[in-house]
């Protein structure tokens, strides 16, 4: 494996939903690259503490913070606590999202699921971007926000239309805040394809052969684990990406090949 560059030396990074899965690996990768990390969770306290321990074992500082990002007051409190603890925040990765994982068909959609997915994925991401970005504008050096989207926006989702709608909404709010916050704070979307997290591997459709079908349809021939894409997500917050804002970066092994 290639040595990890310290792209975030001396910086602070917040990752939402960092108790499990992709968020945990982004948090750890940020620490490997020199950052102190705010580890957010909603209900996975044990997971968040495990992530924080991985961060401190790398010689970096970790701060565990809880909030339900579907509620504006909790997001404000989250931001207040992070700024109070670290004094500033250089990078926010809004990773939290509900994919309606238990829903296996559009026929099973419920109003409750629609409301929850939209509240977490669109409202939550919008308000996190709003609160973190507003504070970044006031600090020296500005900051960068990465919203985790999905390539589901390319093909839609017959399984869970509310999930595709929510991830499309993230593109709109990202472009809007990219304009509002420019040039001091950059806002971009990182859109991974399928990732073999523990949750994905446990899905009935995945165990029933869907994983094999998707691997066969992917030019790179495999579905990566979350640790492989963590550094790619963080690229959008690096100095090398300083002229990218309002962008949409896909990493899906060539499955969609979206472009001009």
Tell me phi and psi for residue 236, to 5 degrees: -65, -15
Alpha-carbon dihedral angle through residues 22, 24, 30, 35, given to the nearest 10 degrees? 150
Q: Are 24 and 46 in contact, with CB atoms under 8 Å apart?
A: no
What token pair was written down for 258? 């979206």
Q: Across the strands, what pairs with 186?
A: 144
Nearest 10 degrees: Cα torsion 214, 44, 169, 112: 100
**Is the peptide bond between 183 and the residue preceding it cis, with omega within 30 degrees of 0?**
yes
Name the active-site residue from 163, 168, 177, 255.
163
- CA-closest candidate to residue 79, choices 38, 108, 43: 38
Examine the residue annotation and report whether 163 is marked as an active-site residue of this protein.
yes
**Are 81 and 64 spatial neighbours (Cβ–Cβ below 8 Å)?**
no
Q: How far apart are CA 173 and CA 188, in angstroms?
A: 10
Instruction: Enumerate the active-site residues.
Output: 163
């Amino acid at each position: 494996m290639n040595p990890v560059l310290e792209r975030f030396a001396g910086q602070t990074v917040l990752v939402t939903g960092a108790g499990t899965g992709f968020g945990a690996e982004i948090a750890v990768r940020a620490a490997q690259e020199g950052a102190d990390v705010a580890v957010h969770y909603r209900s996975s306290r044990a997971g968040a503490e495990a992530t924080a321990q991985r961060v401190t074992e790398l010689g970096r500082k970790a701060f565990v913070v809880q909030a339900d990002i579907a509620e504006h007051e909790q997001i404000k409190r989250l931001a207040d606590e992070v700024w109070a603890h670290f004094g500033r925040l250089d990078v926010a990765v809004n990773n939290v999202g509900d994919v309606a994982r238990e829903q296996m068909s559009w026929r099973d959609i419920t109003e409750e699921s629609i409301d929850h997915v939209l509240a977490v994925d669109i409202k939550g991401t919008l308000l996190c971007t709003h609160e973190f970005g507003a504070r970044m504008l006031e600090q020296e050096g500005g900051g960068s926000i990465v919203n985790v989207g999905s390539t589901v926006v390319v093909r839609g989702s017959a399984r869970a239309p509310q999930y595709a709608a929510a991830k499309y909404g993230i593109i709109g709010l990202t472009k809007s805040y990219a304009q509002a916050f420019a040039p001091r704070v950059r806002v971009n979307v990182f859109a991974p394809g399928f990732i073999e997290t523990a949750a994905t591997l446990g899905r009935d459709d995945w165990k029933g052969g869907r994983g094999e079908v998707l691997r066969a349809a992917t030019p790179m021939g495999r579905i990566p684990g979350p640790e492989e894409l963590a550094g790619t997500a963080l690229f959008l917050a690096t100095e090398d990406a300083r002229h990218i804002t309002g962008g949409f970066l896909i990493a899906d092994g060539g499955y969609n090949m979206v472009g001009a």
